[in-house]
Amino acid sequence: MRPWLIIAGLVILRATGPMAQEAVAEFKSDTGTPTTELLVRSTTDIEILAPLLQAFVTANPTIHLRYEQWGSNALYDDSLAACERGSEAADVVFSSGVHQIVDLVNRACATPYRSAATDALPVSRRWRDEIWGITQEPAVIIYNTALVPKGTVPDTRFALLDLMRQPESAFTGKIATYDVEASGLGFLFAFMDSLEATTFGSLLEGFSRLKAVATCCSAEIIDGVAEGRYLIAYNVLGSYVDARPRRDVGVILPRDYTLFLSRTFMIPKQAAHKREAAQLLEFLLSPQGQTMLAEVNLFQRTDRDARPLPDSARRAIPIDPKLLVAMDRHRRQLFVEQWRTTFARERED
């Protein structure tokens, strides 16, 4: 029996409709008496982080850790509201919506913290001693290995464009990616593509012509590729693919460039247990924590053909004020409107 317990797997709706908590789990040591409840709100699936969180409370038996899994947009909205009201917040916010956490830090919603471990992070993975990038995860192309001939699998964006330009394409309605309105992570990847890639406009044109599907969730995309509902999916977070191992799903790290995301850790200004939050940060950055993160594929350098990605093709998404451009309301609106004209959406009820 697992030493951690999932308390709820329910979708909880706010009064305004968006999804808040998706699931909740609690972690505590088998020894000692917990005296502090540490509240962690995160976009990372519980199943992925559970072994690491259990190791943390085992090493710190006075801490009872409550872990809430959220969608990135809802987590940002909740964290901003707590900051603006000056009301009680989570003790830790840990999110793949990097641009959203940079915005929270810029709005003075974070608590500063500094140590030898945080100073050791590359400059691109920390900002103002208030936000830290813990992981390194690629945005990958995935495909159905049983239905896509190996010789046609695109390993660059140029190859994907060539595939989409074929007449009477078998990929019509069979290409998927994130919906940038529903997924903060999907928005970030698409926005970074728009800055990085000369191919971005052509990709949107190809997605539109082939009636590509934009949907909210990693699990839906990965399962759809495994089941053959989609043949190819673009810009999927690689760690989620590895967390849901499926026999018929292949993974490609694009060799023209691959975006790498570092999930961001922030201690909110209103956190009730800042010291314990810093303990969790130190654990995540420790050799044990980094090894355990690698074991659950939150660090990745190769695709499933075991081909290492050249350093020249690695594009880290920097944790710095440049990401605030992605949060500009007018620019976001124009970007989303462009996206809406491209995709036929498939949303979960």
Helices (H), 120-270: 157-164, 184-196, 200-209, 218-227, 238-243
Domain residues of the chain, as ranges?
A: 5-136+262-285, 137-260+312-345
244 or 33, which is more confident? Answer: 33
Confidence of residue 275 (pLDDT cuts 50, 70, 90): very high
What kind of architecture, by CATH, is found in domain 137-260+312-345? 3-Layer(aba) Sandwich (3.40)
pLDDT digits (tens, 9 = 90+) for 77-111: 999 999 999 888 999 999 999 999 999 999 999 99
Helix, strand, coil percentages in the chain from 3-state DSSP, rounded to 5? 40, 25, 40
pLDDT digits (tens, 9 = 90+) for 327-343: 888 888 888 888 888 87
What is the CATH number assigned to the segment(s) 5-136+262-285? 3.40.190.10
Q: What is the CB-side half-sphere exposure of residue 192 using CA atoms within 13 A? A: 23
Confidence of residue 326 (pLDDT cuts 50, 70, 90): confident
Task: Read off φ and ψ for residue 113, nearest 5 degrees.
Answer: -155, 140
Most confident of the ranges 36-45, 235-244, 307-316: 36-45
* Average pLDDT value over all residues in the chain: 88
Q: Which of 7-16, 48-57, 185-194 has the lowest mean pLDDT?
A: 7-16
Residue-level pLDDT at 109: 97
5-136+262-285 and 137-260+312-345: identical CATH topology? yes
Asked whether the predicted pLDDT for residue 301 surpasses 80, the reply is no
156 or 348, which is more confident? Answer: 156
Confidence of residue 17 (pLDDT cuts 50, 70, 90): very low
Asked whether the predicted pLDDT for residue 18 surpasses 60, the reply is no
What pTM does this model have?
Answer: 0.85
Contacts 24+ apart (CB under 8 A), 151-160: 153/250, 153/252, 154/232, 154/252, 155/252, 155/254, 155/255, 156/254, 156/255, 156/256, 157/197, 157/199, 157/203, 157/254, 157/256, 158/199, 158/256, 160/203, 160/206, 160/232, 160/234
345 or 45, which is more confident? Answer: 45
| Closest C-alpha to 185, from 91, 72, 290 | 72
| Three-state DSSP state, 281 | helix
281 or 73, which is more confident? Answer: 281
Asked whether the predicted pLDDT for residue 289 surpasses 90, the reply is yes
pLDDT digits (tens, 9 = 90+) for 245-264: 778 999 999 999 999 999 99
Residue-level pLDDT at 302: 61
4 or 308, which is more confident? Answer: 308
Percent of the residues in the chain that have a pLDDT greater than 90, as a whole number: 64
Asked whether the predicted pLDDT for residue 297 surpasses 90, the reply is no
Residue-level pLDDT at 148: 93
Asked whether the predicted pLDDT for residue 14 surpasses 60, the reply is no
pLDDT digits (tens, 9 = 90+) for 172-197: 999 999 998 888 889 999 999 998 87
Residue-level pLDDT at 31: 84
Burial class (CB in 10 A: 0-12, 13-18, 19+), 155: middle
The token pair at 253 is 């790290």
